[in-house]
Homo-oligomer: A and B are copies of this chain.
Amino acid sequence: MDISFIGSGNLAWHLAPALDNVGYTVKEVYSRDPKHARALVGRLYQADVKSTLDFSDSPSDIFIIAVSDDAIQDIVREIILPDDSILVHTSGSQSLNLLGFAATLNTGVFYPLQTFSKAKKVDFNDIPIFIESEVDEVNKVLMKMAKSISKKAKTISSENRKALHVAAVFASNFSNHMLTISKSIAEKYGVDFEVLKPLIAETLNKSINIGPENAQTGPAKRGDMEILDTHLEFLKDDPDVAEIYRIISQHIIDQSE
């Protein structure tokens, strides 16, 4: 089957070549910035840069919207598709209904659960891909496409995909922000963040292996109020960080009871 990509960001950068390599043919790449589209085309066998969203003469069967969440709606309003084509978005947080405006009923979601950056090679084989569609035939096509690159393809409802996305925000975005705060506290006192890396690696390793609920340690888990007070006092020059410290500690205490 032939595919057109709308968007040439971090996800498209890896997903388009991955599909190109397993028997799909990416024919077209559209991007608001043609330079970005050209760069992605350079990674593909037979693709051309597409400069408008009028795909009425497109040879493609599947149109993959891989743009930031807030740009999807504008794309859907503008895009012109050939008959019987399949339109999917790749967002974890946007509902399937968002594609309801498009001039096709063959809509779906194709959501690879991973964080992508252009510089870092990824192996799709291990990346869970979540499929959603209300049309059986679309579901089949998307599941086949997902299975062609990943051994972790699953169907999911919009509601559960939202839960998954909120869970991913905590697991990825917020855990990363804890490291950002950690680094800024350490560096404020001239302590190199490097020294914390073995601890971070071991913590996460343990968390993944025995489950985070079993890996919890620290003053809040022990209910050590004296240390908690000392730390809050220590953080008093940065009330926002102190409040984050307080509220997470309280939640750990509540869950330990």
Contacts and interface: CB of A to CB of B under 8 A. Distances in A.
Given A180-B216, A200-B204, 7 more contacts: A93-B219, A152-B195, A162-B234, A168-B182, A179-B212, A200-B208, A240-B254
B188 A163 contact: yes
Contact of A167 (B128, B154, B182): B182
Given A179-B171, A231-B166, A128 B198 contact: yes
A170 B164 contact: no
B171 A248 contact: no
A255 to B, nearest CB: 7
Number of copies: 2
A181 to B, nearest CB: 5
A178 interface: yes
B247 A247 contact: yes
Contacts of A197: 208
A172 B212 contact: no
A164 to B, nearest CB: 5
Contact of A170 (B68, B185, B211): B185
Contact of A178 (B174, B184, B240): B174
A51 interface: no
B168 A199 contact: yes
A11 to B, nearest CB: 12
Contact of A201 (B159, B167, B208): B208
Nearest to A190: B160
B167 A191 contact: yes
Contact of A169 (B126, B195, B243, B245): B245
A164 B195 contact: yes
A52 interface: no
Given A212-B183, A247-B247, A218 B159 contact: no
A39 interface: no
A224 B197 CA distance: 30
A177 interface: yes
B222 A68 contact: yes
A175 B172 contact: no
Contact of A176 (B159, B184, B215): B215
